[in-house]
Homo-oligomer: A and B are copies of this chain.
């Protein structure tokens, strides 16, 4: 268990949130045109460092000029330590003291102190921790009135979402923070809904390559394939067995993966071919490393920071909401 605290200062913070947000319902700019300067007092508590995804998210914050909170949560078995996060593109850096999740009281007071320093509405958490911590962390954020963007997968998702919605808590929860991937998935879903069978008779083939350590088939590939099956009417395609998986360095390199990304990549190629093979549609989305997810996470943070100014009561948002807001 990581965290399940009820901070002693919660009731004070919650009532302040309510009053203050009423005077803030005037922002109308899209979060996409916003930058750190629109939220000069914002501090982001990036939980899950020194894990690679949390670290990438922290670097992405620095790259966009967003300040990190000087303390954050780390795994219960990680030694307390202070790390320096550096974004190599901009040279921006920050020191962050990592407090193990097992030291609950210390974390609780750290958050209270942060809020006292920057204002209760200027603290947002990013969560890339562990599937086993998803629900307890969600409860902790709600108890401590810390809005959060959670890219951690696993846990009891329904319980997590219900808990946050019931509390009117501001958060973005999404298993895939890659905004462009989510947009592409949505476009294919919409196409399949609008024009099912428009690729009737076309044959589908799918190849995906991931790092060798990933045992299961890509969840994104499965979701995309559902849309392609609706478009082609090819219901003989088995999502579980007909997606070709590459989990072999040599094959991955042949598939276009750079050697330095063998340990972290997500390459997908979908092909729809007409019965006589005279027509071929190919879609590829190839991701090397973690930056696309880290950038999408920061979009989530800015989206949330804006929502906290315009909405009176929070709720669970997802990446489609973040995308839609970008269009306003």
Name A residues whose Cβ lies closer than 8 Å to a Cβ of B: 32, 89, 178-180, 183-184, 186-188, 190-191, 193-200, 202, 231, 272, 274, 276, 278-289, 291-292, 323-324, 326-327
Q: A284 touches which one: B89, B195, B278, B280 (CB < 8 A)? A: B280
Known pairs A281-B285, A282-B282; A191 contacts B183 (CB<8 A): yes
CA distance A14 to B10 in the complex (A): 78
**Chain B neighbourhood of A327, CB < 8 A:** 193-198
Copies assembled? 2
**Chain B neighbourhood of A178, CB < 8 A:** 279
CA distance A84 to B208 in the complex (A): 47
CB distance from A224 to the nearest CB of B (A): 12
**Chain B neighbourhood of A292, CB < 8 A:** 274, 278-279
11 additional contacts, CB 8 Å, given A32-B200, A278-B287? A180-B202, A180-B272, A180-B281, A183-B191, A183-B199, A184-B281, A195-B324, A196-B326, A198-B323, A279-B286, A282-B283
CB distance from A19 to the nearest CB of B (A): 34
**Chain B neighbourhood of A323, CB < 8 A:** 194-195, 198
**Chain B neighbourhood of A199, CB < 8 A:** 180, 183
Contact A279 B288 (CB under 8 A): yes
Q: A180 touches which one: B183, B184, B193, B279 (CB < 8 A)? A: B279
Contact A198 B286 (CB under 8 A): no
List 8 A-B residue pairs with CB atoms under 8 Å apart, sorted by A's residue number. A178-B279, A184-B281, A274-B291, A278-B292, A279-B292, A281-B283, A282-B285, A283-B283
**Chain B neighbourhood of A274, CB < 8 A:** 291-292
